[in-house]
Amino acid sequence: MKNIVRRMHVLFFISSAFLLFGCAELFDCVASARPDIHSKNLNIGTFGTSYNDFIDSDITNETNDNAYDYFYAVSGNFPPGMTYNEQGRKLFFNGYPTQTGSFTFKVRLTVDPPYYYDQNQGFYEDGNRICFGNDTTTKEFTIVIQ
């Protein structure tokens, strides 16, 4: 029993030392910035009638999320006759649906961190807040066309 307690103390000490002195990136990533697509029930559309709706996204734990570049991709069963276009943090869905039904599709968001200018460094990318390549997220949505 003493061995187990002693090993736990040693493990705790080593882990604490890494967090405080040797693993700054890991420590920074505890509250890391990451993309988030907001959940939303999309509007119900009508066959042959103009459809308009949108979803929006942000970067969690980031006050400067408007400075990031947002790139969306849509895959799956998207309603025929409709299109999508991105504008900043929003992805708009619009068009004239040409088929009725329930259409489920995935939205993938990838973000690029902002660039800043420093007289000593020139332009540089501030990617330190997005840790371990966590710059992409995917969420599923459904549009019903009646």
Q: Which residue has the higher pLDDT, 34 or 93?
A: 93
Task: Determine the average pLDDT of the residues in 11-26.
Answer: 50
Exposure on the CB side of residue 50, measured as CA atoms within 13 A: 1
Pairing between strand 122-125 and 115-118? Answer: antiparallel
**pTM given for the model:** 0.72
- Single-letter amino acid code for the residue at 3: N
- Single-letter amino acid code for the residue at 100: T
> What pLDDT, on the 0 to 100 scale, is given for residue 113?
79
pLDDT band at 8 (very low <50, low <70, confident <90, very high): low
Nearest to 133 by CA among 116, 106, 114, 113: 113
**pLDDT tens track for 43-86:** 999 999 999 999 999 998 888 888 889 999 999 999 999 999 99
**pLDDT tens track for 33-45:** 789 999 999 999 9
**pLDDT tens track for 111-130:** 987 766 666 766 555 555 55
> What pLDDT, on the 0 to 100 scale, is given for residue 68?
87
Q: Which two tokens stand for residue 37?
A: 């697509």
**CB 85, CB 92: distance < 8 Å:** yes
Q: Is the pLDDT confidence value at 145 over 70?
A: yes
Task: Determine the average pLDDT of the residues in 15-32.
Answer: 52
